[in-house]
Chain A
Amino acid sequence: LAKTTQPISMDSYEGQEVNITCSHNNIATNDYITWYQQFPSQGPRFIIQGYKTKVTNEVASLFIPADRKSSTLSLPRVSLSDTAVYYCLVGETGGGNKLTFGTGTQLKVEL
């Protein structure tokens, strides 16, 4: 499974756009990029998934350059409730599909 590298922590203020970049230099052809969010004492929650270029949903955008060796999760206009740990995962979506989490990025949003 492709190993991912992401910042340990990030700080932001309410209303700002937050971009969290994840490096995955050895991503394989069949791998997808998925981001999960986790609040304290809760299970992770799926945010977004993509393969290439740009994916957008109601909560975030995912930007993936042509070489797919990195990806950026973009959270528009964050609020205090976006304070959480964000995990970048890379792997095939088929088969058993176990998820391999790293240590994630702790995002702290302040007033």
Chain B
Amino acid sequence: DTGVSQDPRHKITKRGQNVTFRCDPISEHNRLYWYRQTLGQGPEFLTYFQNEAQLEKSRLLSDRFSAERPKGSFSTLEIQRTEQGDSAMYLCASSLSGWLAGGGSYNEQFFGPGTRLTVL
């Protein structure tokens, strides 16, 4: 396994169009995250799956955004009626939860290369 992959790497669309991004996590990872990053800022959390269940959504994830992870493997992020403010890098990460020796849980996240969205 070569890591987290995302497709497409770049997407240019016109305002009002729908777009869908795909993320393939590291195969044995049970957790999958979506983040959004704009220029000069750190990534911002959007949503999180454990297996196929979507357990948390940020308030940044408006009703135009929907994410799925149907079989607990790959995930899709769809943006409907895109707006210019949606232009950003969309990052996917995956992790396998575990436990640190001596107590405490461990959750290193592995990020994909991202999908850069440009809304014209």
Do most interface residues of chain B lie in helix, strand or loop, or is the interface mixed?
Answer: strand
From residue B4, how far is it (CB to closest CB) to chain A in Å?
A: 7
Q: Which of B26-57 contact A (CB under 8 A)?
A: 31, 33, 35, 40-45, 48, 50, 55-56
A42 within 8 A of B: yes
User: In the assembly, what is the distance between CA of A66 and CA of B3, in Å?
Assistant: 36
Chain B residues within CB distance 8 Å of chain A = 4, 31, 33, 35, 40-45, 48, 50, 55-56, 58, 89, 91-93, 95, 97, 100, 104-114, 116
Q: Total contacts A to B, CB within 8 angstroms?
A: 73
Chain A residues within CB distance 8 Å of chain B = 30, 32, 41-46, 49, 51, 85, 87, 92-104
From residue B38, how far is it (CB to closest CB) to chain A in Å?
A: 11
User: In the assembly, what is the distance between CA of A98 and CA of B22, in Å?
Assistant: 20
A94 adjacent to B114 (CB under 8 Å): no
Known interface pairs A43-B112, A104-B42; 6 further A-B residue pairs with C-beta atoms within 8 A, sorted by A's residue number: A42-B113, A44-B109, A49-B108, A97-B105, A98-B56, A100-B45
Q: Identify the interface centre among B33, B43, B112: most chain A CB within 10 Å of its CB.
A: B43
- With A51-B104, A93-B104 as contacts: A43 and B56 at CB distance below 8 Å: no
B43 adjacent to A44 (CB under 8 Å): yes
User: In the assembly, what is the distance between CA of A97 and CA of B33, in Å?
Assistant: 10
A102 adjacent to B42 (CB under 8 Å): yes
User: Which of B106, B107, B111 has a CB less than 8 Å from the CB of A43?
Assistant: B111
- With A98-B48, A98-B56 as contacts: A103 and B43 at CB distance below 8 Å: no
A99 adjacent to B109 (CB under 8 Å): yes
A99 adjacent to B43 (CB under 8 Å): yes
User: In the assembly, what is the distance between CA of A30 and CA of B105, in Å?
Assistant: 10
From residue B28, how far is it (CB to closest CB) to chain A in Å?
A: 17
From residue B55, how far is it (CB to closest CB) to chain A in Å?
A: 6
Q: Identify the interface centre among B48, B111, B113: most chain A CB within 10 Å of its CB.
A: B111
